[in-house]
Structure 1
Amino acid sequence: MTTYYSGTVIGAVVTLGLLRRVNIMRSGGAGRHVMGATLATAGVVAFCTMTNPLYALWFVLPAGAVLLVLRVCSQLSSRALCRAGLVLCVGTALGMALRIPFAHSIVATTEDYWHLRDIGASLAYHARQVSDTLATRAGIASLCITLGMWIASIVIALAVVRRGKVVHSFIALSACLGPFIVAVAVIVMGSEATRYLQPWAFLPFLALTVLPGVEFAARGISRRILAWLPARESIGTLRAAGVVGAAIFLGVVCALTMPRINATVSVVDADLRCVTDWVDASGRTGAGLFWTMRAPKAYAADPRQIVQVDDQLHAGSWLANRHDAVNAQVTFFITDADSYPFSFPDASPAGAMDVISCGRYAIHDFYPVVAPLKPAER
């Protein structure tokens, strides 16, 4: 799991609940509620698609497939299918349209995601990833947990579908079919981005929410909470007491933890300090891959002295200030153990460079040769 996709994960889970609500509503005496839930769902779909089109792969595609399965199983009416399908299609289209005004700031294009000629390469790549994961005990454990949870979601889905309750069937089928559909779609796209397979890490767990015992326990807890709530006239006092209590609790937590946090964040590790001290003293501009240079760039006295590039010396365009690369005179590279081999300037072969070791970092200095940076790839 990666944190920069957390919003997409939350959006997928929230929309699953909203679409579940849309599926079970009838237009009889609850027309306004149906319309409200439908508009809310379409709005969330549009917003999530606008912020990250990957949402369409993680949720819209699997949800559409699950709705069709429910219709084939006669658990969902044609009217409900059309309503839910319309919500997904309109919301996704609107989200993509809302990205148009931001096109000048969006680096990735459709061609960056679709490589239909590379389906075989994608399949081979992911097979190697699985093989490499199985080479370690931690990898074996993680795969066993992932596959075990997915198999459990399949068992739960089969049991739930037999009961014929569309609400539970929709969630259970989304939990078990979603990861498989996403995996197939990623391979068909010819993608080698394993991070796109994150639904395997969270969708199967949603099947647990439709277990009879879990539902019964949730209802029991809800009834107890409602019974415990005070009369309406006492709610104001309760809220005030809650705010005061929360403020006191947060104050105590801050008082106990802030000194330790401040001491921790104030310390720069020796390897990083070695790099930043050298860069600051050089007065020159260097470059590095995103994952390598982001920490030195953040701690350098002048962050513009470190430019983000790829291994072919294209100026970086992912989470980068592109202005840093304009007329940049790069005379050194910063690498670490995970860096790809750079295309070093011909006038200064790797053997003739000064290599400054800074622990996990290495600085390859080829001054006075200047590396010719290429324009950023869109």
Structure 2
Amino acid sequence: MTRSWVRELAGWLSAAAVALVAGGAVASSARADLLFRDGDSMVVAMLARSLLAGEPLDWAMSSVLFLPESAAFTALDAALPVDANGLFAISAVVNLLALYGAIRLAAGRARAGAAPVAWSVLALSVFGVLAMTDVSASREALDLASLQLTTTYYSATVVGTVFTIGIVRRMVDSHELRAWPAIALGVVALVSTLSNPLYAAWATVPLVIVLAVAATSSELRSRTSVIIVVLLAGTALGLLSRIPLAAWITKTGVDYVQPGQWHESIDYYARLVGERMQSPFWVIGLLITAALLVVAVVRTVRPRRPGSRLVAASAWVAPVVVVIGAIALGTHAARYLQPVAFAPVLALVAAPHVPRVNHNARRAVAAVAGVVLLIIGGLSIPRLTDAAARPDTDLACVTAWVDASGRTGAGQFWTVRLPKLHLAESSRLVQVDHRLNAYAWLVNRADFAVGEVSFLVEDSQTVPWDLPEAALPETIIDCGRYSILDFGAETLPLGPQRS
């Protein structure tokens, strides 16, 4: 029992080291824009701050509610005396640790001849390498693994999907169906779907396909039938549970479905692949993914334990189903294809057998590898800290001026969200479109109660304003990449809400 406990603890420490290394590398690259400064990436932090401040909650969300992500960020924000960037950095490490926990579940129980902890650490390490090959600052690049380090791009759905595969593996390998795993499966499916309907495409559909094929075996038919029913029921209840939250959902999943654009979808994703092929780092990532898919297929066809084959099959079926589905539905968003990055690494834990080497040599290699990981992980802490603490004088100029003014201003989505998060009172900046209509998208609609503003913040991403001819700023404050158009005593009324 003690030795098992020690192995599990060593696995978590090693995973923490991997998370620090990957987090430090990504945060020090151009991808840092997505971690710390991207307009989309602010929503979870803004919601957490709104909750902690006790503000009236009238949020306009997309089809994704970010419930687990917001709960985790709110807990970190309440517990830790660090700024928003520090919380983003810590969240990146926490997200990778959560993924390790899900991978460890998918690796199966410890037993003679198996080394699930070591293989789980290896799987997370490979995923970390994939994240480090992501070097684009664009949110639309086919840089999928590094999205797991953000608070916004469905990190909880990734963990929920892998966690689901892990529970299903345990249920398939069990000689008898037990209530608790079935309940856990249903709860994970319900919560994940409630938060993000993409779970149905990433987890439910691929697993139902794999389980339906497994049900052709008379030995597994009864178990797989129950699992399919529980998984479908949990997913359906998750969708139904979204109905009471409809006021927060400004765009349903149906709005993203445009099957008539499947030709454009193929062109779009093909262009992203072509762009990724232009960098040696991106090519390395693609080769690693391709190798993992081959391993997954091989481990699917080889006769092994049912749970092992299920995990191996999920490692390649999920990416195939998601890519085909994304094209068939005419989507145009790289983030929907994240199973292409995280699912293939499950091939490494499908059959976590012990290597055929001398026992003492194996222990020595594991000990040395663990120590090296911990050292490198420790050395990565300053790198991650420096990335989070990197000064932004332009942002500081804007927030200092707005805080000191005591007035309320406005800005467009891609411009205003970063300053808005870093203000002492986030409601001092209202989100609008170029015509000053209240832009209700990933924001608290309670902000719009102010009705009028007296200054505007703009930058290079700002669409030219369409203001009344009489509206001329008294002065323009230069804040580097930002400009503040101060209208002084004159106020500009907000237009009607739109999303």
TM-score tier by shorter-chain length is 0.7 to 0.9
Instruction: Tell me the equivalent position of 2:298.
Output: 158
Match of 1:122 among 265, 280, 300: 265
**CA offsets, 1:79-134, max 9 Å, x none?**
33322211211110111122222222333323333233333333333233333333
Instruction: Tell me the equivalent position of 1:274.
Output: 397
1:177-256 correspondence to structure 2 within 5 Å: 177-211=317-351, 214-216=352-354
Q: Does 1:363 align with 2:480?
A: no
Instruction: Tell me the equivalent position of 2:469.
Output: 347
Say whether the 8 Å CA contact 1:293–1:308 is kept in structure 2: yes
Distance in 2 separating the partners of 1:313 and 1:134: 41
Instruction: Tell me the equivalent position of 2:495.
Output: 373
Match of 1:144 among 268, 284, 287: 284
TM-score (norm 1): 0.72
Question: CA, structure 1 residues 195+311, in 2 after alignment: closer, same or farther (shift >3 Å)?
Answer: farther
Say whether the 8 Å CA contact 2:408–2:454 is kept in structure 1: yes
Distance in 2 separating the partners of 1:50 and 1:59: 14
Distance in 1 separating the partners of 2:159 and 2:271: 30
**CA offsets, 1:323-359, max 9 Å, x none?**
112353245443444x252453263799x99764422
**CA offsets, 1:162-185, max 9 Å, x none?**
225321111111111211211222
Instruction: Tell me the equivalent position of 1:10.
Output: 159
Match of 1:285 among 386, 390, 408: 408
Match of 1:59 among 203, 213, 235: 203
2:401 aligned counterpart, secondary structure: helix
* Deviation of the 1:7 alpha carbon: 1.6
Rg larger for = 1
- One-letter amino acid of the counterpart of residue 7, structure 1: A
- One-letter amino acid of the counterpart of residue 337, structure 2: L
Distance in 1 separating the partners of 2:348 and 2:400: 52
Distance in 2 separating the partners of 1:114 and 1:101: 23
Judge which range, 297-306 or 42-51, deviates more: 297-306
Say whether the 8 Å CA contact 2:193–2:239 is kept in structure 1: yes
Distance in 2 separating the partners of 1:54 and 1:347: 45
Question: CA, structure 1 residues 132+13, in 2 after alignment: closer, same or farther (shift >3 Å)?
Answer: same
Instruction: Tell me the equivalent position of 2:97.
Output: none
Question: CA, structure 1 residues 340+125, in 2 after alignment: closer, same or farther (shift >3 Å)?
Answer: farther
Question: CA, structure 1 residues 190+75, in 2 after alignment: closer, same or farther (shift >3 Å)?
Answer: farther
Say whether the 8 Å CA contact 2:455–2:487 is kept in structure 1: yes
Judge which range, 98-107 or 199-208, deviates more: 98-107
Q: Does 1:19 align with 2:168?
A: yes
Say whether the 8 Å CA contact 1:288–1:310 is kept in structure 2: yes
* Deviation of the 1:17 alpha carbon: 0.8
Instruction: Tell me the equivalent position of 2:419.
Output: 296
Distance in 1 separating the partners of 2:218 and 2:463: 56
Q: Does 1:37 align with 2:181?
A: yes
Say whether the 8 Å CA contact 2:452–2:491 is kept in structure 1: no
* Deviation of the 1:77 alpha carbon: 3.8
Say whether the 8 Å CA contact 2:319–2:339 is kept in structure 1: yes
Distance in 1 separating the partners of 2:434 and 2:273: 26
* Deviation of the 1:279 alpha carbon: 3.0
- One-letter amino acid of the counterpart of residue 200, structure 1: V
Question: CA, structure 1 residues 71+335, in 2 after alignment: closer, same or farther (shift >3 Å)?
Answer: farther
Say whether the 8 Å CA contact 1:62–1:181 is kept in structure 2: yes
**CA offsets, 1:183-209, max 9 Å, x none?**
222222322222122112211111101
Return 5+ residue gaps in structure 2 as ranges: 1-146, 364-377
Instruction: Tell me the equivalent position of 1:231.
Output: none
Q: Does 1:309 align with 2:309?
A: no
2:409 aligned counterpart, secondary structure: strand
* Deviation of the 1:310 alpha carbon: 4.8
* Deviation of the 1:284 alpha carbon: 4.5
Say whether the 8 Å CA contact 2:169–2:311 is kept in structure 1: yes
Question: Higher relative CO (CA 8 A, sep ≥ 6), structure 1 or 2?
Answer: 2
Distance in 1 separating the partners of 2:269 and 2:349: 30
1:70-89 correspondence to structure 2 within 5 Å: 70-71=214-215, 74=217, 77-89=220-232
Say whether the 8 Å CA contact 1:75–1:165 is kept in structure 2: no
Identity percentage of aligned residues = 35
Distance in 2 separating the partners of 1:12 and 1:310: 36
Match of 2:444 among 321, 337, 341: 321
1:9 aligned counterpart, secondary structure: helix
TM-score (norm 2): 0.57
Say whether the 8 Å CA contact 1:313–1:342 is kept in structure 2: no
Return 5+ residue gaps in structure 1 as ranges: 226-252
Instruction: Tell me the equivalent position of 2:310.
Output: 170
